[in-house]
């Protein structure tokens, strides 16, 4: 029996340090940069430990947004409709939708 290569989607799978994709690394650095800015503000008030914790939390949120996909689960309405989609793409699409103040029309069929 021979071995066969299975096709898979490898788009955007360049890994940095084994855990970061390129997009995830950028999101992590950007959110950690916001955390470092908050850390510098808090260090003025001698709250260095709080600033380090906030920086770590923001970097973790950036990692999750950049690397994790919305789970495909049929029990929740949100995950049923957006399952398998990148979290950052869903967030950016939501921001774009709200900034344009567009309306969403849903057509339903009423039974009488």
C-beta separation of 91 from 98 below 8 A: no
pLDDT tens string 8-41? 665 555 666 667 788 888 999 999 999 999 999 9
Domain spans in the chain, listed from the N-terminal domain onward: 12-68, 70-112
pTM score, whole prediction = 0.67
Question: CA gyration radius for the chain?
Answer: 20
pLDDT tens string 35-66? 999 999 999 999 999 999 999 999 999 999 98
Start-to-end Cα distance in the chain: 62
C-beta separation of 12 from 26 below 8 A: no
The strand ranges marked E within 2-112 are: 15-16, 20-21
């Amino acid at each position: 029996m021979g071995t066969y290569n299975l096709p898979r989607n490898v788009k955007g799978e360049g890994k940095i340090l084994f855990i970061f994709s390129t997009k995830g690394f950028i999101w992590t650095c950007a959110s950690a940069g916001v955390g470092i800015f908050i850390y510098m503000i808090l260090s003025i008030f001698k709250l260095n430990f709080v600033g380090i914790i906030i920086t770590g939390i923001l970097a973790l949120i950036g990692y999750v947004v950049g690397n994790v996909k919305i789970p495909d689960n049929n029990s929740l309405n949100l995950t049923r409709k957006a399952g398998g989609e990148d979290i950052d793409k869903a967030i950016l699409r939501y921001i774009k939708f709200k900034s344009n103040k567009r309306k969403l029309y849903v057509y339903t069929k009423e039974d009488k």
